[in-house]
Structure formats: C-alpha cells, structure tokens
Amino acid sequence: MAMILIFFSIVFVNLVWLIIKKNNLWIGIGSALALVVMMAGNQSNMDYHNYSQWYVQHWYPASVEKGYVKCANFFSSLGIPYSLFLVLLFATCALLIGFAVIKLHANVHAVILMFCGYQIFFDYVQIRNTISVALLVGAIYLITVRKRIIAGILIALSALFHVSMIIYLPIIFFPASKKMNKLYRAFLIAVLVFCALTFVNGNRLPFIEVIEDLGYIDAEKYEKYFTTSSNLGFVLPFALQIANLFLIMISDNAIQGMDIKRISQDNRSKEKILLKIQRFSSMTKGAVVLSSVALPMVMINEEFVRFFRNCNILLYVEVAIIITLCSSRIISRKLRAVKGYCIDYTLYTGIVFAVILLWIVLYTPQGIVASFFTGNRFLSF
C-alpha cells in the first residue's frame, strides 16, 4: 500500500507542476530519489533472486556481460550488501540522466511522468540494460558539447553492460546537421526491405544459416533469439517504433529550424544552450534510426523490442525540451505547433502501454507491474 501511495504521489505532484508550467528542480530531485529507492528495494521481481545469489557467490553465467560482472564483484568484495549495490547503481543512472536533463533545460517533470508511465516497470528488473541506457544518454550529451572521444568510450563501456548498445557506436561519427537525412532515409528503406524478406521467409532472418555456418555468431548462445518466430506479435512494436520515428523526425526538424541568432539576441549563454539542444536532437534522431535495425529481428523474437525501449529516455528528454521551448514564447510558431503532436504522442503511447500493462496485471499477477508494488526492502510498511 505504501508503494502505491508513494508512486502515485510522485505522479500527481509532477503532473501538477507540469500543468502550471513550472520546472522545480528540487521536486524533480526528490522524485528521482524516491524512484531510486523504489526500484533498488524491490525483491519481488523475476531476476532479483538470481542476481542476488550471483552477487554473493561471485559467479555469473556466460551470458552476463563482463562489465556488469566486474562491477558487481568489485562492490561485493568490499562487503557492500546487494540492496545497497542496487541503490548505488540506480542512483548513478539517475545522476547521469538528470545531469543531461538539467543541462539541456528540459522539463524535469515531463521526463519523470513519462518514465513512470512505462519505462520504470522494465528498468527496475533489467538492471544491465538500465545501466547501459544511462551511459548512452551521458554519451549523447557529451557529443552535444563536442567531446566525441569520451562519448565513444562511454558507449563502448555501455556495451560491456549490455551488448546490444554496440549498435549506437556509429553515432560518434554522425555530424549534427541535416546532411544525414538522406542517409537515414536510405537506411530505413533498406531495413524495411529486409523486413519484407523476413516476412516472406516465414519470419526467419534470411541467410541466418549461412551466417551461423561462417561462425560470425555463436549459434548455440543466440539460438533462442534467431530460431523462433513472433508470428504477428511484431505488429505492436512496429507501430511504436514508427511513432518514435515520426516524433523524432518532426521535432528535430522544428528544432533545427530555430533561428538561434534571432532568439538569442546576442546572448552568448542562451545561444550555446540552443546549439546544444540542436545537437542533442540530431544525435537522438541518429539513435532512434539506428535502433530500427531491430525491426526485422522483432519479427523473430519479441525480446528485441528492447532496442526500441533503449531510446525511450532520449525521446522523453526530447519531448521535455519541446515543452520547455514552447513555454518560453520566444520560439517560432513552427516549433510551438510541434507541442501538439508531442502531447498527442505521449497520450498515444500512454494509452497503448496502459493496455499492455493492464493485460500484464490481469493475466500475470506475478508480472513486472504487480511485482513493482510488492516486497520492497526499504518501504515494507
């Protein structure tokens, strides 16, 4: 009961501050800390028992990436309990994401609300993925301040926590301009053609047997991912990724179209912030486009939907930036018009995810949503 009360209090307070068009940093920090405690203290999720045992025994299966193993073993060797280890991990993730949100002047309440609407119910379970996404957000922010080498190191580090993050490494070479649009379109067309071939092939990747025979992938390790079929289960992930692409394309187009010289009015500080926002939006678009490489793989195994979820935090920050800019009254009508779509997008995804989560609650009582509100080590009163 305490978990439910705290969770919906966080949602209500941030919703009120969003409606009144304020951006209260302290409420944002307090909300983030509360969410960290809620996520780290959970002992009812499906992965907690295994990860806690591995943490104590210093043993991990081969499928767990070495970055997480080294990190966990280090803290375990110091005698730090697993629950405190999780607090430190989630707090670090919140710090990385929060730093980017503050520096980009995004509306913190919008980010928290969107995070609570869906992403939190996966992030508290998928620890390695959560860490890697936070590192990706930090890396993309570093690109906005022209520190691409360090950003590349961060993305490489994120791949040591979850190997799927390696697909974002090319971002460090992308120019922050409209010059990439033609390449993005060509890439998406190629992906859609490959999706059509996969569908015709009975939802199996073309040439997968040849790739396995050549030894480019470990057939035994990845067999469960590439030898199944999701039938029509890919339709919803496809729709959500298309919505993501649509959002980032029109919002980035509006942000890149800002007349920074006119808006900043020779204010160098304001000009630097707006340039950072443009670069962040451009890099977010690159990340969302790259994540589309998983579209044909989702047709085989729905677990690949994590590639799309990896970009959710970036999209939340993008929407929060749009909300901040639209509240300023110094931007063009073109950008203010995007606000309506951002709201529509948020409502659309919120309704879709609400249906998914309702299904999980009704048909899997021990699923990720129900488990989130039970068995918390720190909030069991």
pLDDT in tens, 299-313: 777 777 888 888 889
Q: Does the predicted TM-score (pTM) go above 0.75?
A: yes
Burial class (CB in 10 A: 0-12, 13-18, 19+), 332: middle
What is the pLDDT at residue 363?
43
CA dihedral 138, 143, 146, 148 (to 10 degrees): 90
pLDDT at 92 (0 to 100): 94
Q: What is the DSSP string of 275-333?
A: HHHHHHHHHHHHHHHHHGGGHHHHTT-GGGGHHHHTTHHHHHHHHHHHHHHHTTS-S-H
Give every residue of the chain whose pLDDT is below 70, as ranges.
1, 176-177, 201-234, 259-267, 327-367, 380-381
Distance CA 111, CA 320 (A): 6
Looking at residue 153, its pLDDT comes to 93
